[in-house]
Structure 1
């Protein structure tokens, strides 16, 4: 029987768990009493995840049994580039076809042609975090850097669902924000931090729901990563 080493399935999964902990932990290396939406907090956390984006490929290279083609395995390639760009876009647009259609008929699409709209967005640090840094860093770390480690020892479909579980668990760190804000542990568990400020008016959202949603969407993103990879 082959001994467990750094290329084994156990070590690969453990490496992904460690990478998840490092990503979430990087958000809390700064000692601050400000909320997560405070400009100083956003700037510090964006810097933290940027550093993680630089370190994650090094981490991936170490745990790959054959790191010679690491960039191709991470999706940075010229082969099938058009397919990798077009197919996920079409599938995702189809997934959100309902809201996109409603927005089109309501005239909402025209706002995206207004330069001032984009200028105001880029001046809003919350928007930059939610629409640029968070998606970019999460897809880079949890998909581009983590999936190659899992795919070297798991079947594609197994890896598609294992990685996103860690992606979903990572979002439970929002509980810390609630506890830090004075909530009890039980209350923090059921409140999704993104809706905490409207709790008294519109009810609570459950972190368990957020975990389920992010896990399913993570599986979808991982599936797109796998099918877009050259064989």
Structure 2
């Protein structure tokens, strides 16, 4: 008798909850008294999420009722590739049109043409974590690996909102670190609640892009 009903929405959502717990839990497998911005902490956590990025597709394959063409379902495909690249880029550029326009007219965008700017960025572990590892691992795990599991039993628009809620909840672990750093519980809760709100909204936007850029 099969222990897990792969066609069950409950099983699919539960699988995504478990994947969320594993992702967040991987950040805390290291025993350290250092802050999250300490170089050693950043290196260890980057390694943890890298391992999660390797394991997540295996997890996704197991919980898909039809694991054929798994990488295509995860967004790694040649079909409609131009659409998948161009449409999210245009929509996101439109979303940030205000700041982009201000930078253009102020001349601030010239800094991105300076090689030393990028060299200094790559030498800053906090920058690498915030701009490379965190976005890459989160989009891979919470979008590419999680959305196919949800889409097999939920409508696209429902999946667009269910997945991001888990994505937002995953950021509540920062509350513990803020309290540990001396922040009051009430203040930490307010900060984390705000972070939950905007990460959930962004997650919904990102998931929406994942759905509309799909060839199906």
| 3-state SS, counterpart of residue 191 of structure 1 | helix
Given that residues 26 and 45 in structure 1 are in contact (C-alpha distance below 8 angstroms), is that contact kept between their aligned partners in structure 2? yes
TM-score, normalization by structure 1: 0.90
Provide the C-alpha distance between the structure 1 equivalents of 2:202 and 2:87, rounded to a whole number of angstroms: 16
Given that residues 171 and 192 in structure 2 are in contact (C-alpha distance below 8 angstroms), is that contact kept between their aligned partners in structure 1? no
**Mind listing any 5+ residue stretches in structure 2 that lack a counterpart?**
none
CA-CA distance at 1:184 after TM superposition: 4.3
Given that residues 35 and 41 in structure 1 are in contact (C-alpha distance below 8 angstroms), is that contact kept between their aligned partners in structure 2? yes
Provide the C-alpha distance between the structure 2 equivalents of 1:102 and 1:187, rounded to a whole number of angstroms: 32
Given that residues 4 and 10 in structure 1 are in contact (C-alpha distance below 8 angstroms), is that contact kept between their aligned partners in structure 2? no
CA-CA distance at 1:3 after TM superposition: 10
Provide the C-alpha distance between the structure 1 equivalents of 2:154 and 2:81, rounded to a whole number of angstroms: 24
Over the aligned positions, Cα root-mean-square deviation in angstroms equals 2.0
Aligned residues: 216
Shift in CA distance, 223/191, structure 1 to aligned 2, threshold 3 Å: closer
CA-CA distance at 1:182 after TM superposition: 3.4
Per-residue CA deviations over 1:163-183 (Å, capped at 9, x if unaligned) read 000001111110110122234
| 3-state SS, counterpart of residue 142 of structure 1 | helix
CA-CA distance at 1:36 after TM superposition: 0.4
TM-score, normalization by structure 2: 0.96
Question: Which structure has the higher relative contact order (CA within 8 Å, separation 6+)?
Answer: 2
CA-CA distance at 1:192 after TM superposition: 4.9
Provide the C-alpha distance between the structure 1 equivalents of 2:162 and 2:2, rounded to a whole number of angstroms: 23
**Mind listing any 5+ residue stretches in structure 1 that lack a counterpart?**
194-208
Shift in CA distance, 114/45, structure 1 to aligned 2, threshold 3 Å: same
CA-CA distance at 1:119 after TM superposition: 0.3
